[in-house]
């Protein structure tokens, strides 16, 4: 069975960290087979809004976007090849210095630097879900809800620092086949209120 730690903590929130919670569950007979982050590590990726998107002067498939990525990055020029790059959408923006997950297993993280694409300077990268390790969609930029706060760290906005637990249940623990059952078990073994 799989569940997210944040979802469990909505029902019962013992004053222990993820590692201690994993150990407590295993000692109670709910063997934790795996505990992993919901998303791979990446840094300096924020919610941003495309202010304008103009055709690149020397490339048919590139757009030169003006992006507001928060108070310290209110007017970035970023060259983008995504077909859905247009003014008014909220998107994930990797700032210069950002580190994105490797594109292949065992690869090295990808560092964002100031660069030129066909002679036009680009100060960051507008990201698809696949580039952030959040799915396989690579058809365009990941579009965020219109109410997403510009400048907020994407990991915080999407709650990506959560842990996903996979537990192995034995036949005598059928009461733990639901999240509320696991929450009751955690409350019993830690003394936390349910």
- pLDDT of 95-150, one tens digit each? 999 999 887 777 788 899 998 888 888 999 999 988 988 888 778 899 999 999 99
Q: What are the structural domains of the chain?
A: 2-38+162-190 (3.30.56.10), 43-155 (2.40.50.140)
Q: What does the block give as tokens for 194?
A: 């349910």
Q: Does the structure show a pLDDT above 90 at 154?
A: yes
Question: Can you tell me the distance from the alpha carbon of 94 to that of 148, in angstroms, rounded to the nearest whole number?
Answer: 16
Buried b / exposed e along 31-67 (16+ C-beta atoms within 10 A)? ebeebeebbeebbbbbbbbbeebeebeeeeebbbbbb
Residues 14-68: pLDDT tens digits? Answer: 999 999 999 999 998 899 999 998 888 899 999 999 999 988 878 888 999 999 9
Q: Determine the pLDDT at residue 50.
A: 95
> What is the model's pLDDT at position 41?
85
Higher pLDDT, 116 or 153: 153
- pLDDT score recorded for residue 180: 94
The CA distance from 53 to 24, in Å, is 52
What average pLDDT does range 151-155 have in this prediction? Answer: 93
pLDDT for 117 equals 85
Query: What predicted TM-score, i.e. pTM, was given to this entire model?
Result: 0.76
Q: pLDDT by residue (tens digit) across 162-183?
A: 899 999 988 888 888 899 999 9
């Amino acid at each position: 069975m799989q569940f997210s730690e944040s979802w469990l903590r909505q029902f019962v929130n013992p004053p222990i960290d993820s590692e201690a919670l994993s150990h407590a569950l295993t000692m109670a007979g709910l063997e934790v087979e795996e505990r992993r982050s919901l998303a791979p590590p990446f840094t300096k990726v924020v919610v941003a809004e495309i202010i304008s998107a103009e055709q690149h002067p020397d490339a048919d498939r590139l757009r030169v976007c003006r992006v507001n990525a928060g108070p310290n990055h209110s007017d970035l020029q970023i060259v983008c090849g995504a077909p859905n790059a247009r003014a008014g959408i909220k998107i994930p923006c990797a700032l210069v210095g950002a580190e994105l997950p490797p594109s292949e297993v065992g690869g090295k993280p990808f560092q964002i630097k100031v660069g030129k694409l066909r002679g036009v300077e680009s100060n960051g990268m507008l990201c698809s879900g696949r580039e952030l390790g959040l799915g396989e969609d690579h058809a365009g930029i990941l579009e965020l809800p219109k109410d997403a706060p510009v400048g907020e760290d994407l990991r915080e906005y999407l709650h990506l620092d959560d842990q996903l637990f996979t537990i192995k249940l034995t036949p005598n623990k059928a009461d733990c086949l639901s999240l509320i059952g696991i929450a009751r078990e955690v409350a019993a073994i830690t003394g936390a209120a349910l």
